[in-house]
Amino acid sequence: MTDTSEATIQRYPFGDPDRLDLDPRYARLRRDEPLIRVRLPYGEPAWLATRHADVRTVLGDARFSRAAAVGRDEPRNTARQIRGGILSMDPPDHTRLRRLVARAFTARRVEELRPRTRQVADELVDNLLAAGPPADLVEHLATPLPIRVICDLLGVPVADQDRFHTWSEAIVSTTSLSPEQIQQYIDNLFAYMGELIALRRDEPTDDLIGAMVRARDADDRLSEGEVVQLAAGLLAAGHETTVTQIPNFVYVLLHHPDEWARLRADRTLVPRAVEELMRFVPLGATAAFARYAKEDVEIGGVLVRAGEPVVVSIPSANRDETVFADADRLDLGREVNPHLGFGHGVHHCVGAQLARMELQVVLETLLDRTPQLRLAVPEPELTWKSGLLVRGLTAMPVAW
């Protein structure tokens, strides 16, 4: 075991994310130096874990804490620090909140939503076909579908989507918004959710917001602030990443025409394809949400001292050659796929089943309706998001 607490500190992220390409330094680090000291744009230095096993340990081992970040100068990508909320909790407080919302995202409940999601996808593809070619996949399909699904689940008026989708950027912004804009957007989102919660008290409903209000008022399981933060977080996180992943998935498939043809020939591969794309696509542009060691812990042969923060690279872990055969190759038939695309441990994405279903439905609908789908502009004309925690296209003109 090595004690390298005085190791050289490297700037992180290593550079601006280049489309969906994973920085080659991760492969070298996994091989030679799986835990290094890094400094994010803000906050104290941290350890960076890059191997699959080490990332799982940091995310899943109770010796690492999210709650310990409260009151610390947490390593982060924006000047603003996260204050409170479920992402800053450990069990049992985290368990109390998560158990309440998890009921809305069970496999059975998600399957009940699948027919309606198919209907929405077909309606949106109708609009896509009517608009082009060329037509923007982001505008006509990738953005509205996850918004409509999460609105139905939570009980949020879809007519308000332009407002809350704009505000939701604050959740994933690093430099795309100023600290003042981030705070303003979050305040707007919380105020909007507070209005909906007040409405549910006057007019009770069976949706998820209604259930949270009942848990607050009848069972006293939530504080008023927890209801607002939790509902706002679910609304934002419940659509923001899927909005980004839909065009990412399609982009990757169109750049692997043999795999796209493989899907057209065998639709039973779609669930595996979604899992493989979750592994293969490096959604995260940087690390976030540091975990603090509650005691001395050995990770990857390195001693992490009690009180030191660790951040993880999930995209790097998902390319770990010791876990995934031919890890840099897209294989839609991959049978063993313990990817970490939805995280791991107590903070594993509560909406993972919902996202899986939405992504499956989108791929199936595009295969059915636009089997000859292709990019409608040369590659250099595609525009990419910047200043965000996630990588993705701002627009994706397609033809068929």
Q: How far apart are CA 292 and CA 63, in angstroms?
A: 8
Q: What's the pLDDT score for residue 216?
A: 78
Q: How far apart are CA 309 and CA 306, in angstroms?
A: 9
Q: What's the pLDDT score for residue 212?
A: 84
Q: What's the pLDDT score for residue 240?
A: 87
In a domain, 74, yes or no: yes
How do 397-399 and 135-136 pair as beta strands? antiparallel
Domain that holds residue 390: 9-399
In a domain, 37, yes or no: yes
Q: What's the pLDDT score for residue 239?
A: 85
What CATH number does residue 286 fall under? 1.10.630.10
Q: What's the pLDDT score for residue 225?
A: 86
Name 18's bridge partners.
Answer: 21
Which 3 state secondary structure label does DSSP give 388?
strand
Q: What's the pLDDT score for residue 9?
A: 94
Q: What's the pLDDT score for residue 2?
A: 54
Q: What's the pLDDT score for residue 99?
A: 85
Total domains, the chain: 1
Integer-rounded Cα Rg, in Å, for the chain is 21
Residue ranges of the chain with per-residue pLDDT less than 70: 1-7, 84, 220
pLDDT in tens, 298-321: 998 999 999 999 999 999 999 999
Cα–Cα nearest to 165, from 148, 180, 178, 141: 148
In a domain, 3, yes or no: no
Q: What's the pLDDT score for residue 1?
A: 60
Which 3 state secondary structure label does DSSP give 315?
helix
Q: What's the pLDDT score for residue 5?
A: 47
Contacts 24+ apart (CB under 8 A), 21-29: 21/282, 22/282, 22/315, 22/316, 22/319, 26/50, 26/313, 26/315, 26/316, 26/319, 27/319, 27/321, 29/316
Q: What's the pLDDT score for residue 281?
A: 97
Which 3 state secondary structure label does DSSP give 6?
coil
